[in-house]
Amino acid sequence: MVTCNSVRRAVGGKTIKVDLEVTNGVIKNIIISGDFFLFPEDYIHLIESRLRGLKIHEVPNVMLEFKDSVEVVGASIEEFIDVINEAYKSCMGE
């Protein structure tokens, strides 16, 4: 298991941090944190649970499915995907 993280200041002004645990190229655990706003708030748990068990290339499609059900303010779903990718790359030592 490898753990790693990535942090970014979103264009909308808020901070996004992604903490990842990766085993054999599979996301074992993920926490998307920061000072952004996301409505409804408890969807963050649903998003994180949908990402567990995925390979990195599967992340964008799953994340984009949430575009209709959540509103992100101060950051964006696309930026969440970018920070997840950055964290994954650092897990892989890239």
Contacts with other proteins, residue ranges (CB under 8 A)? 7-9, 12-15, 17, 19, 31-41, 44, 71, 73-74
Which of residues 31 and 55 has its CB atom nearest to other proteins in the complex?
31
Which of residues 59 and 75 has its CB atom nearest to other proteins in the complex?
75
Which of residues 57 and 68 has its CB atom nearest to other proteins in the complex?
68
The 8 Å CB, 24+ separation contacts for 4-8 are 4/87, 4/88, 4/90, 4/91, 5/87, 5/90, 6/83, 6/84, 6/86, 6/87, 6/90, 7/83, 8/79, 8/82, 8/83, 8/86
Shortest spacing between CB 57 and other proteins, in angstroms = 25
